[in-house]
Amino acid sequence: ETDVLTIADFIAADGWLAARGDTTIAGRIVLATLRTEIVPASARAHFSLARLLLAQRDTVAATASSQRAADLLAADGDPQLDSELRAQVLDLAQRLDSAAKR
């Protein structure tokens, strides 16, 4: 029998790192990147990655991740993507896109 990591495992690990004060963000970015690879159609995964990249001041990568999240919204049936979170995804993508064009 092979152990298989699930998206829930990655979410739990991300929460564990955050709770222990992972101030480097690097470990959380690695996990968030893995989440986007495991669930590439997840707007929430790409949005989380974008926010972490922005916190690390990697605006180019954050812009790409936030745009990917915005592009995925229409087809993403994730029940945790309520109207408020959807608005946050779109707002971040718009703000980063506008900043990139300046």
**Structural domain boundaries in the chain:** 7-101
Predicted model pTM: 0.80
CA dihedral angle for residue 71, residue 6, residue 34, residue 68, rounded to 10 degrees: 0
Mean pLDDT, rounded, for 29-48: 92
Query: Which tops the pLDDT comparison, 38 or 51?
Result: 51
Strands (E) located in the chain: none
pLDDT band of residue 26 (cuts 50, 70, 90) is confident
Assign 40 to helix, strand or coil.
coil
For domain 7-101, is the CATH number 3.40.50.2300?
A: no
